[in-house]
Amino acid sequence: MMSRLAFTVTLALVLYYPRAMAQRREGKNCCLPRQWEGFQGGIGGLVAGGEGRAIQTISRIAFDAENRRVYAYTNSTMATGVSSMKIIQDYNTNTMFVIDVMKRTCQKTKNTLPFNNGCIPDDAKRVFDMTIGEGSETLRAKIFSMRLQQAKTLLDIQFSVTEKQCVPVGENWTGSVNGVKMVMSMGFFGITPGVKDPSVFTPPSFCKQNTTSEVPAFHPILNYKILGV
């Protein structure tokens, strides 16, 4: 079974990273705003080695297509404990920082994932539209669905964005990765245009003194990104 650190880092990247491969802004489906920040909350569970675990996550995210960089600050809660991770992706230098906030450790690795502009994957199908709310307080959203099947990965994914500006609303995952069965449901909130504090993309000072070349147990699924950071 993967370690808690490897799982936490992998889950943080899977859930909180703009997922769409390196698609053009004028892709077949809509594209998220070029610069935005906000929060994403998630709840779900996984089964590995016959052991089930529930997990709850909350993340502050920032996405900057103009300057090719992504930031996520994720708190994850499981029965085994709480973890706080920061992930900074800088595609100008092909560098990724994975920072354990509680332990004050920093892993600097070479970023081999292609940068994407936050567009919905071309192979995702728009399955239906919906209205959130009631009366004068409503929001129109469109729902997409796709299946990700590769090697030991099989996931059915549904995600929703607002109808007019393609702002992320929610995302659901059901399936398995490397024999680990999982189900996750996520929602986005507090999203605002632009990035008010660009310093979030700067690694903390202790990264210079406490950096390792060790690479966490990432999975090819990280190349298939749909919403969030």
Q: Which of 62, 16, 29, 58 is nearest to 146 (CA)?
A: 29
pLDDT band at 47 (very low <50, low <70, confident <90, very high): confident
Of the chain, the percentage scoring pLDDT greater than 90 comes to: 34
What does the pLDDT average to over 121-130? 90
**Does residue 176 or residue 115 have the better pLDDT?**
176
Q: Is 214 exposed, middle or buried (0-12, 13-18, 19+ CB in 10 A)?
A: exposed
pLDDT of residue 111: 75
Give the integer Cα–Cα distance in Å for 43 and 194: 27
Tell me: pLDDT of 10 over 90: no
Tell me: pLDDT of 120 over 90: no
CATH, range 4-223: 2.50.20.10
Segments in the chain forming alpha helices (H): 4-15, 206-209
pLDDT band at 11 (very low <50, low <70, confident <90, very high): low
Tens of pLDDT, residue by residue over 31-41, are 889 999 999 99
**Does residue 150 or residue 167 have the better pLDDT?**
167
Q: Distance of CA 128 to CAs 46, 121, 125, 131, 210, Å?
A: 28, 16, 9, 11, 48
pLDDT band at 209 (very low <50, low <70, confident <90, very high): low
Domain locations in the chain as residue ranges: 4-223
Name the token pair of 113: 């994932």
Tell me: pLDDT of 116 over 50: yes
